[in-house]
A and B are shown apart, each in its own frame.
Chain A
Amino acid sequence: MSARVGVVTFPGSLDDRDAARAVRLAGGEPVALWHDDAALAGVDAVFLPGGFSYGDALRCGAIARFSQVMDTVKAAAAQGMPVLGVCNGFQVLCESHLLPGALVRNAHLRYRNRPARLRVETSRTAWTRLYQPGAEVVFPAKHGEGRYVADEAVLDELEAQGRVVFRYLDNPNGSMRDIAGVTNEAGNVVGLMPHPEHAVDELTGPSADGLGIVASVLAHLTGAADTSGVSR
């Protein structure tokens, strides 16, 4: 039986269908979850997709944090359930304090929409364990508020603990220390701005590099050849 990966739809989510498609192409079973429903329908992992939840009112992700489903996701994440947030999903995870830091307006104020070259900095997360550390991948980036910021002390801690998961090779938004994605201490919660779910086949994306994200969590869930330090 393949692992069930929940994909949450908030009002204003855009990439939930691509996220579900990525899960399916990687061999998982996508399960649609609704923002207003506290139930996680027995899923093994949760994918928070990109978009403009609640119209980005106030700040990106600020309202989604108070949705029914996020209460349950927070509790499940604390128990070790793998949770991935992409773009708006990353913003929701930061606003929910599941990940440190915040995402603010791009330094140049322009919406950035192009493939982003990234370096995978660590395989010690539930969502990157099948990548070689240092591997280069190309995921589409498309965001206006993707500049990652945090206190210097927080950034130093992230670096020291190996919790910077993805780094831009050509920083598209002014993110501090070129950070494109981070993880929590346990390595089960990962957020990144560029979109692995848009890079799952050569026909529709700039690469198929994104398949490894869902493949990683499927491997993590089946406990195959556990070489990572991720705790469950």
Chain B
Amino acid sequence: MARVVVDVMLKSEILDPQGEAVLGALPRLGVNDVSSVRIGKRVEIEFDENAQNVEEQSRVIADQLLANPVIESFSLSIEGA
């Protein structure tokens, strides 16, 4: 069974207000030496036992649905293909 993990991140030039909010909270934890926090999504996909073209299909899923290429980039990692 192939398991695919897709990481989706906002492109670096897109402001990430959630990351900024987390960054702003860190001093309250006593952490003062962090310069940037960026928040993304991790998507775990499990294919059927007999699935073919797992990488190709994963790329279609990531490119056409999981990430919006206008604002986001993605990376794939395939386990147990």
Contacts A58-B65, A62-B65 given; indicate if A149 touches B70 (C-beta within 8 A).
yes
Chain A residues, CB < 8 A from B9: none
State whether the Cβ of B21 lies closer than 8 Å to any Cβ in chain A. yes
- CB-nearest residue of chain A to B43: A58
Q: Which interface class (under 10, 10 to 19, 20 to 34, 35 or more) fits B?
A: 10 to 19
Tell me the dominant secondary structure on chain B's binding face: mixed
CA of A95 to CA of B71, assembled, Å: 11
A80 cross-chain contacts in B, Cβ below 8 A: none
Q: Mark B38-70, 1 if CB is under 8 A from A, else 0.
A: 000000000000000000000000000110101
B15 x A95 contact (CB < 8 A): no
Q: Is the CB of A104 within 8 A of B65?
A: no
Find residues 100-118 in chain A having any chain B CB closer than 8 Å to their own CB: 100-102, 104-109
**Residue B29 at the A interface, CB < 8 A?**
no
**Could you tell me the distance in whole angstroms from the C-beta of B25 to the nearest C-beta in chain A?**
12
Q: Is the contact region of chain A dominated by helix, strand, or loop, or is it mixed?
A: loop
**Per-residue B-contact encoding for A149-164, CB less than 8 Å = 1, 0 else:** 1110000000000000
Residues of B within 8 A of A55 (CB): none
Is A24 part of the binding interface, using a Cβ–Cβ cutoff of 8 Å?
no
- Chain A residues whose C-beta falls within 8 Å of the C-beta of B18 in the assembled complex: 105, 109
Distance in angstroms between the alpha carbons of A101 and B68 in the assembled complex: 10
Contact among B14, B21, B68 for A62, CB-based, below 8 A:
B68
Known: A104-B10, A109-B18. 11 other contacts (CB 8 A): A62-B68, A94-B70, A95-B68, A101-B70, A102-B71, A104-B14, A105-B17, A107-B15, A149-B14, A149-B70, A174-B15
Which B residues are closer than 8 A to A by beta carbons?
10, 14-15, 17-18, 21, 65-66, 68, 70-71
| 15 contacts across the A-B interface (CB closer than 8 A) | A58-B65, A58-B66, A62-B68, A94-B70, A95-B68, A100-B70, A104-B14, A104-B71, A105-B17, A107-B17, A147-B15, A149-B14, A149-B70, A149-B71, A174-B15
